Structure 1
Amino acid sequence: MSRVLIVDDEASICWAFGEYLGDLGHEVAVAATAEEGLDLARRQPLDAVVLDVRLPGIDGISAMGAFREHVGAAPIIVITAFGNLDTVIRAMDAGAFDYLVKPFDLDQAAAVVQRALEIGWTIAGASDPALGREPEERPSNRLIGSSAAMQALFKQIALVAATDVPVLITGESGTGKELVARAIHEHGRRRGRTFLPVCLAALSPGLIEGELFGHLRGSFTGANQDRKGLLELAAGGTVLLDEIGDVPLGMQVKLLRAIEHREATPVGDARPRPIDVRFLAATNRPLTELMAAGQFREDLFFRLSVFPIHVPPLRERLDDVPVLAKHFLTMASPRQGQEVSLRDDLIDELTRRPWLGNVRELRNAIERAAIVARGGPVLPEHLPPSIDLHGRGAESSNARGLEEVIARWTENALKEPEAVEPSNEESTLYDQFLAQVEPPMLRTVLRRQGGNKALAAQRIGIHRSTLRQKLRKYGLE
């Protein structure tokens, strides 16, 4: 039996954790403030702590150091209703085992606690005081969102920022891959040095080597003096190799050597020079398909993807659209920084659109709407026409196709005798139909909500207990 302390000022959270973990055989203590929790931690040994961030008095993250003095290496799990990248980074740097955002699914939260108790925890954070400082960010240069997809992204950034391993950032155009790279740099040990994004696709194939590695005087026509490459100029900092999927095969070999051996050989020189940079790479192209076609080296792919991060498209985090739109409208307002509000009809229109251009398209649409509104309230008619790369009829065509599939399935099912005269309740035509359509819908919604059953039930429009029953019924738990 393990002792778990729950520190949260919401009585319902404490009660739910207490009941659930108690049923699993754990002893649970609860506290409404950090001070009360610290008092309990002083008086009895604890195997794990679940700690809210927003608390009366001392906040949870500020109290983590004091808790660590009393609980030693016991895991501390941070929970909050106000998740953003800075909070995740601070929690991870302070040595949090994991990070949960309210409203969380109780099964998922209990599984995190159980895993923490099973494997224990060795403090990995807070060893470098530089990591505890918050970066200076321009308002337009930060990642925004509180959806499950963004919380998962924040956690990945927090985990990898303190390391020096290469990171491969993938995602569609306009999702914010460079912002992810910048966040990794600004929350890491190299934050005080250069962050250098290099768009490889914008460089001529004949110039990429000289730009990256530099050249000696006389190495080619027009080389009138020695020149350092970008990898040397970014010494001590971070280099983002943007559009890595567009690099010619010959250059991929030299990039691989630079990443593997931390050295660069200027054009016209036979002597490699040591370099001290962190490598990040980004692409919107399917590298696995390029490898299969012989257009991208497998060894470079595996070297870059030590820690892969996929940035979700905006259509998979529509809950973030209103807060993103409000942020962009604030930035575009003539009275920049002044609080703005969005009308309900504008939010409805924004969340209805497919946003195939992702966050970039949303930002452009809001900036255009702000100009057309001329300082007044932004209305749906101020937005530019929705962009549909597949044609305006795609949605209705898909609906017709689905209707035809259902009709054919029904015709085939009606040919079976038991569909007309069911032998039992479970074999009715309606039950057979639900068994076909519910599992893929449930899987998709759960995936979109990051496995959070509470949010999935809310999105579907059913009670959480009903969702659990359906998941058990179809073997999806």
Structure 2
Amino acid sequence: MRTQANVLIVDDDPDFGAVASNLVELEGLSASHATNAREALMLCREKDFDVVLLDLKLGADSGLEVLREIRQGWADLPVIVITAHGSLETAAAAVREKAFDYLGKPFPSAELIGVLRRALEWRAGRKSPDTTLQNVSTSTTAIVGNSPAMVAVYRLIARVADTDSTVLIAGESGTGKELIARALHDNSSRTRKPFVPINCGAFTETLLESELFGHVRGAFTGAANSHRGIFETASGGTVFLDEISETSPAFQVKLLRVLQEQEVRPVGASEPRRVNVRIVAATNRPVPELLNSDDFRQDLLYRLSVIHIQLPPLRDRSEDIPLLVEHFLQRTNAKLNRHVIVPADTLDWLKSLTWPGNVRELENAVERAITLNASGRLLPEDFIQFTPAPFLQKNELAITNPVPSLSQEPIPADHSWRCAVPATLDEVERQHILATLRFTDGNKLRAAELLGIGRYSLYRKAERLGIKLDSLSIRTTEP
């Protein structure tokens, strides 16, 4: 009677195969290694395996084809997919073929052993595979990464997408919150219904209420006709409320009623109307900060964060930068009909940067560098030359300009600030906001995005700091 569980490792890299085999055997399991599709299927026919560890990249062979063959011939054999080319699309392709789980290289040995144990327990019938990936749509191909943090996000999407639970996505500006919201919608039973994104920070309170709840004729000056709000027109679908933390307490009360009662009362209406939408919200503020905030209702926060997805900043998953650069490189090359490449040294340099604007900043930098590149090879100077913000390396404290003193003069174009005495925090903040507004040519929404705050937070800060946004005069100093 067989007492050892058998693990088949399918990977064309002999070094990885040896390391993985050693890890498996240290756990008291038996390991076999195949380097191509033919060997893998031959071993499956010759030996009774309990779990397969399968790389999707097998040189000339397709790991997905191997997965399909295993599913057809050995339907109850759990297959753990591994790849160094991590993306939601890769995970989706695997789960369509009923992979048990997904690991992105490199991964901690403890994570591999943990997944193997769960697969073996499922195989033995002791419990269901609660970490098994479900049907993850490939439509969100811009979500790229195989770092542990991103793999955890993929798994969470798989678990909660096809539910009606509200979701709060938290993360810094540029981390891809709307992409995650779309992935949740695309992988739910609501996928054939509308997905409607709304930037709450881009509307005044009155306009936001009218846009979402609708209004009846004569509800306010200029309301010549009745208007159905998004909560009604998106019936059966998903409404994504970005920058939810920028809404007023009065609006938050009305949104709470939508979540509790599944009904809305259009502006000026006497009776509520039933609605059927899933609400996914996002904020760039830390959730603990919201919890202790005086301007955000705790009861609404609890309702919104039934499921909480925390997106990591790019600096905390720098191992994903080469994958992201390759993704943006392929897309931009195809769009511009170019054949630009990125040498390994440039990738290493890009990994060393902090990227305060996260994935969005990296994407813009890559596209800009490719567009303006003439050599066919992207070098660090291609990025430095066209990036307005200074690049800072990790663990490096760099102050590129002296701190400005408080001045009523418009901020000069070259940011040549001078300070004779130490500035207060308010003075520094005021000048930083002015500099950002100058950089965006007075575009307040864009300035707020660069500052990592909502538009109404910008208005409040401007009022507190004495910045007159409507009459702001920005001049360019003479050289």
Partner of 1:433: none
Partner of 1:172: 172
Q: Say which SS state the counterpart of residue 381 (structure 2) adopts.
A: helix
| Letter matched to residue 309 of structure 2 | I
Partner of 1:473: none
| Letter matched to residue 4 of structure 1 | N
Partner of 1:427: none
Unaligned ranges ≥5, structure 2: 400-479
Which structure has more relative contact order (CA 8 Å, sep 6+)? It is 1
| Letter matched to residue 94 of structure 2 | A
How do residues 282-293 of structure 1 correspond to structure 2 at under 5 angstroms? 282-293=282-293
Deviation at 1:167, TM superposition (A): 1.8
User: Is the contact between residue 95 and residue 124 of structure 1 (CA under 8 Å) also seen in structure 2?
Assistant: no
| Letter matched to residue 293 of structure 1 | S
Q: Deviations over 1:101-148 (max 9, x none)?
A: 2333333311222244346443689999xx47643x6xxx71233444
Q: Percent identity?
A: 39
Deviation at 1:315, TM superposition (A): 1.7
Which whole-Å CA distance do the structure 2 matches of 1:143 and 1:298 have between them? 31
| Letter matched to residue 85 of structure 2 | F
Out of 62, 70, 77, the residue aligned to residue 68 of structure 2 is 62
Which whole-Å CA distance do the structure 2 matches of 1:388 and 1:366 have between them? 16
Once the two structures are overlaid, the 10-residue window that deviates more, 218-227 or 322-331, is 322-331
Q: Deviations over 1:401-422 (max 9, x none)?
A: xxxxxxxxxxxxxxxxxxxxxx
| Letter matched to residue 145 of structure 2 | G
- RMSD between superposed Cα atoms in Å: 3.8
Which whole-Å CA distance do the structure 1 matches of 2:96 and 2:170 have between them? 25
Unaligned ranges ≥5, structure 1: 398-477
User: Is the contact between residue 182 and residue 195 of structure 1 (CA under 8 Å) also seen in structure 2?
Assistant: yes
Partner of 2:107: 104
Q: 1:17 to 1:253 in 2, by over 3 A?
A: same
| Letter matched to residue 122 of structure 1 | S
| Letter matched to residue 109 of structure 1 | L
Q: Say which SS state the counterpart of residue 205 (structure 2) adopts.
A: coil
Which whole-Å CA distance do the structure 2 matches of 1:13 and 1:391 have between them? 31
User: Is the contact between residue 8 and residue 33 of structure 2 (CA under 8 Å) also seen in structure 1?
Assistant: yes
Deviation at 1:197, TM superposition (A): 0.6
Q: Deviations over 1:199-230 (max 9, x none)?
A: 01111112222211112222333222221101
Which whole-Å CA distance do the structure 1 matches of 2:300 and 2:75 have between them? 44
Deviation at 1:244, TM superposition (A): 0.7
Q: Say which SS state the counterpart of residue 174 (structure 1) adopts.
A: coil
- Equivalenced residue count is 388
Confirm or deny that 1:236 pairs with 2:236. yes
Partner of 2:307: 307
Which whole-Å CA distance do the structure 1 matches of 2:364 and 2:344 have between them? 20
Out of 69, 78, 83, the residue aligned to residue 80 of structure 1 is 83
How do residues 330-349 of structure 1 correspond to structure 2 at under 5 angstroms? 331-332=331-332, 336-343=336-343, 346-349=346-349
Report the TM-score, using the length of structure 1 for normalisation: 0.69
Q: Say which SS state the counterpart of residue 387 (structure 1) adopts.
A: coil
How do residues 22-61 of structure 1 correspond to structure 2 at under 5 angstroms? 22-28=25-31, 47-55=50-58, 56=61, 59-61=65-67
Once the two structures are overlaid, the 10-residue window that deviates more, 118-127 or 302-311, is 118-127
Confirm or deny that 1:122 pairs with 2:128. yes
Q: Deviations over 1:160-192 (max 9, x none)?
A: 333332221111112221122222223333333
Which whole-Å CA distance do the structure 2 matches of 1:125 and 1:152 have between them? 10
User: Is the contact between residue 47 and residue 117 of structure 1 (CA under 8 Å) also seen in structure 2?
Assistant: yes
Which whole-Å CA distance do the structure 1 matches of 2:188 and 2:167 have between them? 13
User: Is the contact between residue 163 and residue 188 of structure 2 (CA under 8 Å) also seen in structure 1?
Assistant: yes
Report the TM-score, using the length of structure 2 for normalisation: 0.68
User: Is the contact between residue 10 and residue 52 of structure 2 (CA under 8 Å) also seen in structure 1?
Assistant: no
Which whole-Å CA distance do the structure 2 matches of 1:289 and 1:144 have between them? 28
Which whole-Å CA distance do the structure 2 matches of 1:153 and 1:386 have between them? 32
Partner of 1:260: 260
Partner of 2:440: none
User: Is the contact between residue 95 and residue 133 of structure 2 (CA under 8 Å) also seen in structure 1?
Assistant: no
Which whole-Å CA distance do the structure 1 matches of 2:347 and 2:71 have between them? 42
Q: 1:42 to 1:185 in 2, by over 3 A?
A: same
